[in-house]
Chain A
Amino acid sequence: MSLAAEAFVSQIAAAEPWPENATLYQPLKEDQILLSDSASSLAVQTFLRMCGLPVEVSCRANAEYMSPSGKVPFIHVGNQVVSELGPIVQFTKAKGHALSDGLDDVQRAEMKAYMELVNNMLLTAELYIQWCDDSTSAEISRPRYSSPYSWPLNHVLAYQKQWEVRRKMNAIGWSGKSLEQVYEDVSQCCQALSQRLGTQPFFFNKQPTELDALVFGHLFTILTTQLTNDELAEKVKSYTNLLSFCHRIEQTYFKEPEREGQSSRHSKGALP
C-alpha cells in the first residue's frame, strides 16, 4: 500500500472496534499449503490470540490471489483486507490492541531487528528449501501448490511460482548457496534466537510480543512438517530452550481439543 493509503486505512480502522466475524484466509490446509505460508499464517493466528482478538480461519484454494499483496495470510476485518504480519500488527494497533507498547525505544529497535532476522533467514531458508532444492520441489512443493487445479494449469502455475522464487533468490544472492549452507544459516539463526531468549518465558521477559508470535509460527511449523528429510527439524530441535518456548506457547494459546491450526496430513500433528 502507498503511504497515503496506509494512513487512510489506519484512520478508518481506528473508528470501529474489532468485529466478531473477522476472518483469516490461507490456502487449503490439507493439500495445498506449503511450509512458508503455513508458518506465516500460524504467526498471525498466534499474534491475534495473544491480543485476545477472535478470528476464524478459512481455507481457500485461491487465497494467494485474493490477497491484496499476493502474500498469505490475510485477514478480512469489517470492510478492510490486510495481509502479512507487519501491516496486521499496525492495523491492530490502530484499533487499540498492541503488544509492544511496554517496550522502550531500544527494545523496540531490538524487536524489529530480530523480526527482520527471522524473516531474512528463516523465511528465506524455508523458501529456498521448498523451491530451489530439486527433490523437495518435485516431490512436495509443486504437487501441493498446484493440487486444486487441473492439467495443464497445475504445471503452469507450479513452474511459474518456482521461477519467481528462484529469481528472488538470485537477486538476494542465495542462489549460489548449497543446501548445507542454508541449513547452517538456519542453525546460526536458531542459535541467535536461543541466546536472545535465554531462560526467559518470552523474548522480552514477561510479556509476549509480535516477535514471540513470529518465532513460534516458524519454529512450530518447521518442527511439525514432514519434508523429504528431517534435517531442518533436527537443527531446531538441538536448542532446548526454543523447544520449551514452543511447547509453552502452544499450551497457553492453542489448548482447544481440536487444535484446528496445527494438524494436517502434511504436518506430523504434535510437537515431538
Chain B
Amino acid sequence: MGLLFWCSFMKTNMAEPALEVLCWGGDWGLPSVQTDSLIVLSYGKFADAKIAVKSVDWTWRTITASVPQLHFEGTTRINADFELTAKQGADTMAYIALLEEKLRPALLHSFWVDPENYANLTRPWFTSHSPFPLNFFVPGRQASLALSRILLTKAESPLLNITEVEGKIYSEAKECLNLLSHRLGNFPFFFGNSPTSLDAFVFGHIAPLLKAPLPSAQLQKHLNQLENLCQFCNSILKNYFIDSMAERRNDCKFSILSSFLFSVSAFLLGSPTAPHDSVDANLQKLTQLVNKESNLIEKMDDNLRSSPQHRPHSHKNSALA
C-alpha cells in the first residue's frame, strides 16, 4: 500500500524520463517476476510515465537493496487515478487490503515455501539471477522471510505447523480470486475502460501466478478457470508491455499471445518473423476481439481452448539451473 501513495505523491512534467526503477528481471513472458516490481512497472505504464527500467539481476543490489526502488530526479508526478471518484478511490484501498491479506500469503507459499516449486523453479531462477556468492543465500533468505510472514500472520495457536496453515491460506486465496473475478465481471478493467492503480496491483499479484511454470500449482489451476482474470492479465501484457516482450524474445515461452507479439514487433522493427504462421490467423482474431464486446471474447476463448496450440507451459528449466 505504501507503493501506491509513493507513486501518487511525486510531482512532475511527464515528458522527461527522469524516473528509474530498479527491479528484478523478467521471465516467463513477464517484464518482471516479482509482484512488487510488476506493480510499479504496470502502474508506470498506465500513467504513461517514461520509466527507465534497470534490472538488479546479477548485481550486488539483490542483497543490499529491497527492490523495487524508484529513483527520480527533480520533481515527478505519476497518477493513473485521475478519473476515479472518491468512492472508487476508497474501493481501491479496500481491494488492495483484500489482496494483501488473502492472496499474498498463498502466493508467497506457492513460490517460496512449497518444496516442489521452490526447489524446481524459484530457487534455481533466483540463484541464476544473482551474482556469486550471493546466489547461495539470497533465495534462502527470501524463503525464510516468506515463511515467517505466513506463520506470524496466519498461524494461530493451534495451527503452529505450516501444513495446517496451508489449507486455510489456499482456501482464502481461492475465495479472493473468486471475489476479484466477480468484481471484474465482463469489464476490461476494474473501473471502466482505463486502467488504474488497482489494476496494477491485481496484475502484479496475478501475473506471476498465471505465467510461471509451477510444478505443483493448485492455485494456478484455480486461476486458469477464471477466464476473465486470465483475459485481464493477457490484455495488459499485450497492450502495455509489447516492447519489453520483444526484447525478451529468447526467454519467452510457448504462449500463443507472445508469438503473435513476435510477429507484430517483427513487422514494426523489421527483424525476422517467428515461425508460427499457422496460428497467426487465430491470434489476430483473438487480439482484435479482446478490444470488442465481452461475449465475443468468451466465445473466442472457447474456440482457442480447443485448438491444439494452447497448451500449458512445458517449461524446461535447464536454461535457468
Give the interface of A toward B (CB within 8 A): 1-3, 68-71, 105-106, 108-110, 112-114, 116-117, 119-121, 167-168, 171-173, 185, 188-189, 191-193, 195-196, 198
Contacts and interface: CB of A to CB of B under 8 A. Distances in A.
B87 A195 contact: yes
B185 A195 contact: no
B94 A167 contact: no
Given A167-B152, A191-B90, A120 B95 contact: no
Interface of B: 1-2, 5, 86-87, 89-91, 93-95, 97-98, 100-102, 145, 148-149, 152-153, 156-158, 164, 167-168, 171, 179-180, 182-183, 185
A70 B87 contact: no
Given A116-B102, A171-B153, 19 more contacts: A2-B167, A3-B167, A69-B156, A71-B156, A105-B179, A108-B182, A109-B182, A110-B94, A113-B95, A116-B101, A117-B93, A120-B100, A167-B152, A172-B152, A188-B5, A195-B87, A195-B89, A196-B87, A196-B94
Nearest to A211: B94
B67 to A, nearest CB: 14
18 contacts: A3-B168, A68-B158, A69-B157, A69-B158, A70-B157, A106-B183, A108-B179, A110-B91, A116-B94, A116-B102, A117-B98, A121-B97, A189-B93, A192-B90, A192-B93, A192-B94, A196-B87, A196-B91
A65 B90 CA distance: 37
B179 A113 contact: yes
Nearest to B164: A2
Given A116-B98, A120-B97, A193 B90 contact: yes
A178 to B, nearest CB: 13
Given A3-B167, A172-B149, A112 B179 contact: yes
Nearest to A188: B93
Nearest to A70: B157
A171 B97 CA distance: 16
Contacts of B93: 117, 188-189, 192
Contacts of A191: 90
Contacts of A113: 91, 94-95, 97-98, 179
Contacts of A171: 145, 148-149, 152-153
Contacts of A188: 5, 93
Contacts of A198: 87
A12 to B, nearest CB: 18
A204 to B, nearest CB: 13
Contacts of A192: 89-90, 93-94
A120 B164 contact: no
Given A109-B182, A109-B183, A195-B89, A114 B168 contact: no
A114 B152 contact: no
Nearest to B100: A120
A211 to B, nearest CB: 10
